[in-house]
Amino acid sequence: MADLSQEEWTKQLKADDNAVVLDVRTQDEIDLGMIPNAIHIDIFKGQGFIHEVEQLDKTKNYYVYCKSGNRSGQACAIMNQLDIENAYNLLGGFSEWQGEVAHNQ
C-alpha cells in the first residue's frame, strides 16, 4: 500500500494503463459525485466488501479513495491482505479532490 498526495495519485493514475479507480464510500456519499470511471464497493459492507474485493483482478493497480483518506487506507490494507499488491490510497480523499467529478444522472 502507498499513501499518495492528490498530485502524485493523479499523475501516477494518468500514466498507468493497468489502473482501476475504486471508491469505497457509502451510496449517500456517491450521490454527491465521484471520480469518473470509478467502481464502487462500500467498505461498510464488512464481509460483503471482502467478498467483492476477492472478485477483483489481482493483476490490476487500484487507486482507492473515500471522503478523507481514512477508510481508503483501511481498504488498501485489506486489499494487500487479499493478495492485491498494488493499492494506492488517495490522501485527503474526495473532500480535497481537484479533478473531474462525475454525477449520477
CATH number of domain containing 71: 3.40.250.10
20 close to 37: Cβ distance less than 8 angstroms: no
- Does any domain span residue 68? yes
- Does any domain span residue 103? no
87: pLDDT strictly greater than 70:
yes
Instruction: Please list, residue by residue across 66-102, b when 16 or more beta carbons sit within 10 angstroms of its beta carbon and e when fewer do.
Output: bbbbebbbbbbebbeeeebebbbbbbbbbeebeeeee
Q: For position 25, what pLDDT does the model report?
A: 98
- Does any domain span residue 64? yes
Q: Which residues pair with 62 in a beta bridge?
A: 20, 87
Structural domain range at position 19: 2-96
- Does any domain span residue 104? no
How far from chain centre, in Å, is Cα 18?
14
Query: What's the one-letter identity of residue 13?
Result: L
Does residue 66 carry a catalytic annotation? yes
- Does any domain span residue 41? yes
Tally of domains in the chain: 1
- Does any domain span residue 101? no
- Does any domain span residue 76? yes
Q: For position 50, what pLDDT does the model report?
A: 97
pLDDT band of residue 1 (cuts 50, 70, 90) is confident
Give me the catalytic one of 34, 35, 43, 66: 66
- Does any domain span residue 74? yes
Q: What is the mean pLDDT of residues 20-26?
A: 98
